[in-house]
Amino acid sequence: MKERTFENQIELRDCVDFKVDSEKCLHCGLCVRDCAFKVLSLNNDGMPAMAHPEKCMRCQHCFAVCPVGAIAFDGVKAEEVPPVKDLDFPNAEQVSNWIKSRRSIRKFAEEDVDPAVLDKVLKLLANTPTGCNARALTFTCYPNRAAVKGFREAFLKAVEEHRNGAKLLPRWLAIPAIKLRKGGEDIFFRDASGILIVSSDETVPGVTTPREDVTIACSNFELLANANGIGTCWCGFLKLVQNEIPELLEKVAGIRRTTPFYAILFGKSAVKYARAAERGAYANIVYKH
């Protein structure tokens, strides 16, 4: 299977590797009906074929929907992917409990996250849905305390350079930054052992929802991290600081200043919560008939 990169994305759309096993195919047409962009059609023999490969966004719905695994897509055969019926899924109550007991972690343990566990979680983010299946997300990870220390130092240096350039900073940023430089409380990154910055390259052809893609990816990371015993906290402070200092992430992480992004702090939680918070009827639900 040819690796998908930003550079060959357009090329890939014109050379989709779509094969159908004629001995397995039921001629049911499920793949054709489920194709969102009418890329597939049945030929004279009743076999699915790519009528408009240039429209294919490589979502693999055809591959996934085939009940007998007759379709191979980009070199991947059905027998290489476990059938959904063989997978374990939590029931509705378990999912509800998971959502209700989810907490933002702002007190992290000293130990780093196991690199193997973190790598497994990050690789699963390839399954994050993106608008038009653009898949233009980048996951910039500072995986341990040593890496976070370097990021924090670069962050403070960028803030100080901005301030020294006779540019005023709001008190909520200037004072905590000075305190952090002096070894005080880290309200920006909460002494987390890791930081993940999710960004979307909106210059890639086909990217239509870069900010939404980033948000969904962050939510998926939080879900996967929590399931693997890793606490998380959405780092709104970094977003606010970037708004004040547009060149910040370009200096600190090499992320272009106009690139949509969000950051998640992560690490082993130093706090164990005994129960879920009670939200009551907080949700503002409006039914329209």
Q: What is the pLDDT of residues 12-35, one digit of tens each?
A: 445 789 999 999 999 999 999 999
Longest dimension (CA), the chain: 75
CA distances (Å), origin 172, targets 85, 179, 204: 52, 11, 35
Q: Chain-centre distance of CA 145, in angstroms?
A: 22
Q: 112 and 168 share a domain?
A: yes
Percent residues over pLDDT 70 in the chain: 95
Q: 100 and 234 share a domain?
A: yes
Tell me the pLDDT tens digit for each residue of 86-107: 999 999 999 999 999 999 999 9
Q: 80 and 97 share a domain?
A: no
User: Domain tally for the chain?
Assistant: 2
115: number of Cβ within 10 Å: 10
Q: 107 and 81 share a domain?
A: no
Tell me the pLDDT tens digit for each residue of 212-268: 999 999 999 999 999 999 999 999 999 999 999 999 999 999 999 999 999 999 999
End-to-end distance of the chain based on CA atoms, in angstroms? 48
Overall pTM > 0.75? yes
CATH code (residue 51): 3.30.70.20
Sheet holding 194-200, edge to edge: 137-142, 194-200, 261-267, 231-234
Q: Is the pLDDT of residue 207 over 70?
A: yes
Q: 44 and 138 share a domain?
A: no
Structural domain for 35, as ranges = 9-85
CA distances (Å), origin 176, targets 114, 173, 179, 180, 235: 30, 6, 5, 6, 15
Asked if the structure places residue 288 within a domain, the reply is no
Asked if the structure places residue 285 within a domain, the reply is no
Q: 163 and 72 share a domain?
A: no
Percent residues over pLDDT 90 in the chain: 88
